[in-house]
Chains A and B, each alone.
Chain A
């Protein structure tokens, strides 16, 4: 096939009916080649509008990379639009601090660890109120451990207050007197 491609077929041969199909194919290939060349030319003449520096094709080595930016707050480095002075709106004052920190260094924390505004009572306050320090721990102890604790508690307190540390007597069934 490569030999045939190197030599051009004579026009007489191409006019023959059995050659029509391949003639059409060759014309199409020619058209494709010219189209591709035109495309390449057109793209090369356009500026490379990308964020990556450096040229991608030969002729655009003269072109600079240009980025189009329409946002003024990025171009002019504007502040956040909401401001409050002398404590008129404390939420907005907090926002001002947040955005100021955001600009000057790293991410600020709008909701500082403890203050989750969706909750009326914060987590730590709730836990303390429910008695997390002692009662929740008891739930996960085994019976033996609980018994030991009670004995220990009883043992320590017996010197000071023996009456309280005596365990409650189990009430027996009392027969009703008729």
Chain B
């Protein structure tokens, strides 16, 4: 049984002298660590880290996060991108692989991009880029046309992307599809047919509150229904 801590609860983290990594939802108050979000305490050894796994739907940009953005318009030499944050983010025309002043990437309003947050501060509008520090895209950039964009909670996306979760590999054995998960609670799915895409979307959304064994049952049920049994 995992313990749920509420904001203000003192966390039972061992006091000692070794270095400690404090993640989101945990804050230090004098000598103790205190929860600032309601959720389950997660920790990792080596180096010892702890953070709160809370059910959150609102995204707060963090530098380095890879998110899915929707182009909403142009602003000078950049596009305005909706990333789910309080403000629209900007992505410069030059922040794409192989982009020069003459050779601009071809994106229109409504296109989806998988980008990385470059600048995320409390008082400034976020900036995203589709390129890494070496100038390569390595998977970032415009997503292919078509597909379905889902909005879900942030912790569901983190679960999908964790190494321990078997949902996507199990689905991958049954169905042929492509998926992109943004840390801002957006998941883009594309598959051979609309029916399969919807089936995958249903599986992902319904799996949020199930454990691993229940997930395989869920997958079985929905795929059978999709295939018409």
Contact = CB atoms under 8 A, between A and B. Distances in A.
A118 B162 contact: no
A147 B227 CA distance: 76
Given A76-B162, A88-B191, A82 B139 contact: yes
Interface residues of B, number: 46
Interface string B159-185: 001110000100111011111111100
B43 to A, nearest CB: 10
Contacts of A73: 64-66, 161, 183
Interface string A51-87: 1010000000000111111111111111111111111
Given A81-B181, A88-B191, A71 B64 contact: yes
Contacts of B158: 72, 76, 78
A15 interface: no
Contact of B19 (A67, A83, A118): A67
Contacts, number: 122
Contacts of B51: 72, 75
A76 to B, nearest CB: 6
Contacts of B183: 72-73, 81
Q: From DSSP, what is the main secondary structure of chain A's interface residues? A: loop
Interface of A: 47, 51, 53, 64-89, 92, 95, 98-99, 110, 118
Interface of B: 15-24, 28, 42, 44, 49, 51, 62-66, 98, 114, 136, 138-139, 144, 158, 161-163, 168, 171-173, 175-183, 190-192
